[in-house]
Amino acid sequence: MNHSIINLMTITVERYLKVVHPFWSKKNLKRWMIYALMVFAWIAGIVSIAPVAIVTTVLEDGICMPFFVWESIKVRTIFNFWILFSYLVVPVIVFVFCYARIVIVMRRQARVMAASNVEGSARMSSSQIQSKRIKWNIIKTMIIVSACLLTIYIRTRSKYRL
């Protein structure tokens, strides 16, 4: 789950750069960077949870008890806050910021296109309709991704009682 969240943030930032800063991204964003970020997402996801999974897993009466045994409540609380902040708060902030900026840029582009439209303003052109569809798709994507992230987080937390 952790690497998926990191990967979603990476994709979101990449979309943000391509839409909001197209010239900069075309000049500076290389294909190898995207591949390196994919590898980083997997490594960071594994490294962030593997030590804790190993330390808090014990064998009791022949049953493996993952994530249930914490020697200190303070350590468990600190870990839970770190996970909450790193994999819920930060991603939602990134999603909302990036997709909001994308919508603002798309709206600005639509206004420029509408101003240059020589046809009457009473009739909506196909480019304006397409622009509205794109904006709504961006907003729906942001809402769906954030809602799914929150749902997954809540289900995982209740399953493992962290």
Domain ranges of the chain: 2-160
Of the listed ranges 37-46, 108-117, 139-148, the least confidently predicted one is 108-117
Closest CA to 52 of 68, 29, 36, 31: 68
Interval 93-116 mean pLDDT: 81
Q: Across the chain, what does the average pLDDT equal?
A: 78
Interval 103-109 mean pLDDT: 82
Check pLDDT > 60 for residue 120. no
Condensed to tens digits (0 to 9), the pLDDT of residues 37-87 reads: 889 988 988 888 877 777 777 777 777 776 667 778 888 888 888 888 888
Check pLDDT > 60 for residue 115. yes
Q: Output the CA torsion 66→69→70→73 (10° steps).
A: 110
Question: Which homologous superfamily does the CATH classification assign to the domain defined by 2-160?
Answer: Rhodopsin 7-helix transmembrane proteins (1.20.1070.10)
Sign of CA dihedral 84, 86, 40, 100: positive
pLDDT score for 124: 58
pLDDT score for 162: 47
Check pLDDT > 80 for residue 114. no
pLDDT band, residue 25 (cuts 50/70/90): confident
pTM: 0.69
Which letter does DSSP use for residue 58 in this model? E
Question: Can you tell me the distance from the alpha carbon of 75 to that of 144, in angstroms, rounded to the nearest whole number?
Answer: 33
